[in-house]
Amino acid sequence: MTCSVDVRGGSPAVSGAGVELVDAICLAGGSLYGLEAAAGVAAELLAQRDYRTDWLQIPLVAGAIIFDWGPRDNAVYPDKELGRAAVSAAAAGSVPLGARGAGRSATVGKLFAYEESEPGGQGGAFRQAGGTRVAVFTVVNAIGAIVDREGNVVRGQYDRESGLRRALMPTLEERLAEGRPVRPPPGNTTLTVVVTDLALEPRQLRTLGRQVHASMARAIQPFHALEDGDVLFAVSTGAVESDPLLDTTALGVMASELAWDAVLSVAP
């Protein structure tokens, strides 16, 4: 599959970012150590290909990680063996949502402290328009909170004393007026994969990724902050040569709405 990567935020960690064709994309926790899982994915694909080493049989795997050690007190990370196990356990049509997989220890809404965070996790959404199919998968471990289409915070920035979620700007202004510093905790990130079966040229695929990634700031606020390492992989399988109903900009609009749906599915 053809692949383009859009990297934003101040703290990303990516492997295979320059690979324009991929067999798999591995999203993991464990910060930098979790990149080892992508090597496990490649190793398992190699085994499934009977260890053939000719040029076109080498598995191409891209990967990215989240920092998920904030809310937990152990050094467990997804290693090579877990990457291999993930490939073996993969099932067509199955995408676990919520605190599962790479999103097991993810949290969101940490602008004012870990104490006001809530569980994040994995999300996904799918749509077909005309002859084109699009799916978006995301792992949300953002410093920002999840916001619905009415502008309400639906996950994160949770005040346990009042049982309410804090609105972003009023709370920020109140803290600054009181002389209380706002120092977000480090170690966040949202990872996203946009997949379509419409054949796209490299420039079109790159632009699609940028369009969708920028749109996600509607669903996660704040987004692409210094403490985030947001990465989006845009992938085309090329199964549909052309679609008279969709140009790439319209495809980007549809995928952007799906990305919002995927983020919201983390917090149903």
Rounded Cα distance between 155 and 32, Å, is 26
Residues 220/180, Cβ–Cβ less than 8 Å: no
Report whether 190 contacts 220 (CB < 8 A): yes
Catalytic residue, candidates 107, 132, 138, 189? 189
Whole-angstrom Cα distance, residue 45 to residue 47?
5
Closest CA to 140 of 63, 73, 66, 76: 66
The two tokens of residue 200 are 């796209």
DSSP-assigned beta bridge partners for residue 24: 61
Q: How far apart are CA 120 and CA 13, in angstroms?
A: 19
Looking up tokens 């290693």, which residue turns up?
79
* H/E stretch holding 208: helix 202-215
Residue type, 10: G
Assigned token pair, 262: 């995927």
User: Has 189 been annotated as catalytic?
Assistant: yes
The residue written with tokens 């891209």 in the block is 62
Catalytic residues: 189
